[in-house]
């Protein structure tokens, strides 16, 4: 069993491991070493209007911190910089997590699913929390019977970080 794409299960696939800020990437042997790193790992952006969901997980604790979406440009920026970049569906633009708050997400590992259309990014979160509402995780509510209950404490004052613009 493997996590992510099982390169050893692709017949006649010869690859070379290359390293950048986001970690190791496997590329076909003989690929252009001058090309930006990690770009031969194609993702299927065709199913959700050019987007892939990206689950953000704390690399140390395993806690799910948030869910974002990436288009091809956000994917390339994430791989090239080593920091999670997303595509905002509401603002219709790229955004690097932490550009306002300073709470950046340093990518340590990247996995994809068997259909190559979803991602898991294991990250180190720089800052007290990822959620724009002041919590460590965006998943701070739990269904209890028939209602959502807040199960975490706030870890920072979101109004001090974002002002009134969330």
Could you list the pLDDT tens digit for every one of the 166 residues in the chain? Answer: 444 444 444 444 444 444 455 444 555 545 555 555 444 568 999 999 999 999 999 999 999 999 999 999 999 999 999 999 999 999 999 999 888 888 899 999 999 999 999 999 999 999 999 999 999 999 999 999 999 999 999 999 988 888 765 5
CATH for 43-162, among 3.30.1120.130, 3.55.10.10, 3.10.20.810, 3.40.50.300? Answer: 3.10.20.810
CA distance 63 to 124: 11
Are 56 and 82 a contacting pair, CB within 8 Å? Answer: no
Are 162 and 155 a contacting pair, CB within 8 Å? Answer: no
pLDDT of 82 reads: 95
Strand 85-88 relative to strand 93-96: parallel, antiparallel, unpaired?
antiparallel
pLDDT of 1 reads: 40
pLDDT of 35 reads: 52
pLDDT of 102 reads: 85
C-alpha Rg value of the chain to the nearest Å: 17
- Residue spans per domain, the chain: 43-162
Are 145 and 153 a contacting pair, CB within 8 Å? Answer: no
| 130 strand-pairing partners | none
Question: Helix (H, G, I), strand (E, B), or coil: what is residue 132?
Answer: coil
Are 79 and 58 a contacting pair, CB within 8 Å? Answer: no
pLDDT of 21 reads: 52
| 93 strand-pairing partners | 88
Length of the chain counted residue by residue: 166
* pTM (global) more than 0.95: no
Are 136 and 63 a contacting pair, CB within 8 Å? Answer: yes
pLDDT of 6 reads: 43
CA distance 8 to 20: 22
pLDDT of 106 reads: 97
The token duo for 145 is 């019977």
Question: Cα angle at 148 between 144 and 152, to 5 degrees?
Answer: 95
């Amino acid at each position: 069993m493997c996590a992510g794409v099982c390169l050893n299960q692709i017949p006649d696939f010869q690859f070379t491991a290359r390293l950048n800020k986001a970690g190791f990437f496997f590329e076909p042997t003989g690929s252009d070493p001058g090309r930006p790193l990690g770009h031969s790992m194609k993702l299927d952006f065709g199913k959700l209007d050019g987007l892939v969901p990206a689950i953000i997980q704390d690399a140390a604790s395993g806690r799910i911190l948030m869910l974002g979406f990436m288009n091809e440009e956000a994917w390339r920026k994430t791989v090239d910089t080593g920091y999670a970049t997303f595509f905002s569906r509401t603002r219709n633009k790229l955004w690097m997590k932490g550009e306002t708050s300073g709470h950046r997400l340093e990518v340590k590992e990247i996995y994809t699913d068997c259909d190559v259309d979803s991602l898991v990014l294991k990250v180190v979160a720089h800052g007290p929390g990822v959620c724009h509402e002041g919590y460590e995780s965006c998943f701070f509510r739990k269904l209890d019977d028939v209602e959502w209950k807040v199960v975490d404490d706030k870890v920072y004052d979101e109004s001090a970080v974002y002002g009134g613009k969330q």
